[in-house]
Every structure is written in C-alpha cells, then in structure tokens.
Structure 1
Amino acid sequence: MNFDGEDLSGTSLTDRLAPDETHVFRGCDLTEADLWGASLAGARFESCVLEQADFRKADLDGAAFTGGGGMRVRFSDADLIDAVFTDVDLSSAQFGGALMTDASFTGCRLIGASLTGSRGTGFRVTRSNLTMANLGGCSLRGEEIEGVRFDEADLSGCDFTDATFTDCRLREAKLLKTVFTRADLRGADLGEIDDARLRAFGGAIVNRAQADAILAARGITVL
C-alpha cells in the first residue's frame, strides 16, 4: 500500500496496515501518528514528517527511513533489525528496548536521542550527530565509526572493543565503565583528558600527537 503526500497526523494507522503488504510512505505528515504495534516490515518512509510519531512495538524489520524526521519519535520496544536510517532527523528519539541488531544510521541527527536499553548485537552509525545522546550500555564492538559527534554524550557502559574511530569527536563524553579495549582512537578528537578520562581510555590505541598532549597536560615533555 502506498501513501503519497497524505496528512496522517494524529491518525491511528495500525488497523489500516495489512501484515502481508509492503507499505510506502512518501512525503507524508505522520506527526503524532499512532503506529503502535504496526506491521511495517520492509516499509519505506521517504521525506516524511515524523514529529512525535509512535512506533512503539512496531515490526520495522528491514524498514528504510530516508530524509525527513522530527523530534521525539518513539521506537521503544520496536523490531528494528536491519532497519536503515539515512539523512533523518531523530533528535530526542526514544529507542529503549528496541531490537537494533544490524540497524544503521547514516547522516542522521540524533541529538539528545536515547538508545540506552536497546537490545541486539550492535548497530552501525556513520556521519551522524549524537551530541548529548544517551547510549548507555550499547555495544558497538568492532564497528567502523566514521564522522560521528559524541560530544557530551553518555557512553557509560558502552562496549567499543576493537572499534575504529575516524573523524569522530568525544569531547566531554561521559565514559563511566566504557570499554575501549583495542579500540583505535587515532582518528578521534578526545578533548581534554583528565586522570579519570585517561583511565577510561585504558586499552585503546592512540597516535603520537594524542599521547604527547596527554603527557604535556601532566607537565611531561617527550623529546
């Protein structure tokens, strides 16, 4: 079923979506739309307004969101396995309890989003802004993380084992019990590193300039 340019704001769509169809939404207004528990596997959302849309417990396995977006979209407890988000504004979105295995975010705005409590074996994020986002407890083991801003994000308990950071920022990120074992941070802006942050980065790989800056902050000069 296709929805083209429709105003679906505030509408309950659950009963209109057959589970055996692939649904396409193009340029629709889904502001505060009720999609709780909806069957949306493989659905396509193209340049839709998603302000406060409710996708809680929805089946979004393999769904694709391209462009558009809005504040405070709710994906809590949804199935987002293999879901793809490209150039979507998901600021302050809620992902708690969502199954995120192999979901991907590219060019997305996730400022203040909450991904803590999401489930699965990990997701991918590239060229996205996660400033002040909460990723507490998330796993990004072995991921290639490129062009991501984690400034002031809560990364407490995150697992970045074997991850590689390229053109990323970690300024003032919260790093309580964050795991960086063998993580390659040579392409990351680590910001100011006090003793607590230095301990948090234990086991990580840094470059010579980063190491020199860490030592210089402690009054040690390397010749």
Structure 2
Amino acid sequence: MDVARLLEDGREIVGVDLTEVSITEHLVEDGPPYIFRDCDLTKAGFGGASLVRASFEGCVLERADFRHADLDGARFSGGGGAGARFGQADLVDAVFTDVDLAGALFEGALLTDASFTGCRMVGAVLSGCRGTGYRFTGCNLMLADLIGCSLRGVRLEGVRFDEANLSGVDFTKAVFSECRMINARTVETVFTDADLRGVDLGEVDDTRLRALRGAVLSAAQAASILAERGLTVL
C-alpha cells in the first residue's frame, strides 16, 4: 500500500488496514483535519504527529502510539484503544466517547478540558497527567492509576473508581454523582470540600477515613462508617 499517496489524496480515510504502519511521516500538516473512519490502526505509529481536530471514528487503536502527538481538539468515538499510548501527548479539548481504553497509557499527557464519556478505562494509567478541567462521565476506571491527577472542582457522574490508585489526586470541591470508590487507594488524596454524598465508598478503614477529612458526607454514609466501628447512630 502506498501510504503516502493515500494520505495525500484525501483527508478522510475509510476502512483501511494500517496495522503497524508508521503514519506520522506521511501526514500533511496543511489542510482540513484528518478523519479516520473504521480503520484498523493496531500498533500504528502517530508519535509526534500534528493531528489537531482529527477524528477517529470506530477505529481499532489497540497499542497505537500517539506519544508526544498534538491532538488538540481531536475526537475519538467508538472502537477500541486497549493499550494505546498517549504519553506526553497534547490532548487539550480532546473528546473520547464510548472508546475502550483498557490499559491505555496517558502518563504526562496534557488533558486540559478533555472529556471522557462512556469509556472503559480499566487499568488505564493517567499518573502525572497535566492540566485541569478534564472530566469523566459514565466511565469505568476500575484498577486505573491516577496518581497525582488534578480533578479540582469537576463533576464526576457514573464513574467507577473501584480498586483504583487515587493517591495524591486532588478532588478539592469535586462533586460526585452515582459513583463508586470501593477499595480505592487514597494515600494523600485531597477531598477538601468534595461532595461525596453520591459515592458508594464501601468499607472505610481508618486510613481511608483520615483521607476523607474535609469531605462532605451524607448522614447515611456517616452512620455506616460509625457502624463499622461498633457505634450506633439513632
């Protein structure tokens, strides 16, 4: 396949198998954003690419390499990106919708105002991500690594953080709705003025209880925590 000709002839690439192809060197910066639709991009190389406002619709992105790429305003919808690598990428205003990102690697990525909706992110690594204002809605972040992330003031709806590593995450003034945080690791996690009334906390041991200092809890949550310590609230 003549990849260079394919990418030069059109900005919309549909149904093409680009497995393990190094694509960055063939991209043309001038012109409208690229659209990749229903393509197999398994292990494809986009490292350092300029993909501002690009769209990836229903593509297979397993272990694709987007490290250091400029994905400002990019759109990812449907498809699977298990194990995809986004380390140090610029994902400002990027939108991920209904994408399987299990085990995806985002270490050090710039996520300012990025959004993840309906994504499966089991075991994803977001440690050291930069920026603020990024948000998760209806996402499964079970077993994910969010060490040091900033989620200050965001609204989190339908997010599952069970067994995730939330050490050092800043949840100051965050609001949770229909979320789960069972057995999550919360060493040095900041919950100052965070509204946790919409979180299933599961069992809260003494270590987790200390981490919750400054958070807003419901009466039912407080009663459950006390009951675990042999106290009854009437």
With structure 1 as the length reference, what TM-score do the two structures score?
0.98
Count of aligned pairs = 223
User: Aligned with 1:186: secondary structure?
Assistant: coil
In structure 2, list runs of 5 or more residues that go unmatched: 1-10
Distance 1:136 1:204 in 2: 19
1:159 equivalenced with 2:170 (yes/no): yes
Q: For the residues of structure 2 that align with 1:150 and 1:131, how far apart are their CA atoms? A: 5
Out of 27, 32, 36, the position equivalent to 1:17 is 27
Partner of 1:216: 227
Amino acid in the other structure paired with 2:57: E
Cα distance in 2 for partners of 1:221, 1:8 equals: 62
* Match of residue 182 from structure 1: 193
Unaligned runs of 5+ in 1: none
Corresponding residue number in structure 1 for 2:131:
120
* Residue 192 (structure 1) aligned with residue 208 (structure 2): no
Matches within 5 A, 1:97-108: 97-108=108-119
Q: Which amino acid aligns with 1:46?
A: E
Deviations 1:68-109 (A, max 9, x none): 023210000110000000000000000111111011100001
Distance, in Å, in 2 between the alignment partners of 1:15 and 1:216 is: 61
TM-score by length of 2: 0.94
RMSD over aligned CA atoms reads 0.7
Provide the secondary structure at the position in 1 that maps to 2:25: helix
Cα separation, 2, equivalents of 1:194 and 1:33? 45
Per-residue deviation, residues 133-186 of structure 1 (Å, max 9, x unmatched): 000000000000000000000000000000001000000000000000010000
Extract structure 1 runs of 4+ deviating beyond 6 A: none
User: What are the superposed Cα offsets for residues 37-81 of structure 1, whole Å, 9 maximum, x if unpaired?
Assistant: 111000000000001000001110000000002321000011000
In structure 1, distance between residues paired with 2:78 and 2:85: 17
1:85 corresponds, among 96, 100, 103, to 96
Question: Aligned letter for 1:132?
Answer: L
Q: Structure 2 counterpart of 1:33, which letter? A: A
What is the match of residue 72 of structure 1? 83
Following the alignment from structure 2 to structure 1, what is the Cα–Cα distance between the partners of residues 218 and 128? 33
Counterpart of 1:70, as a letter, is G
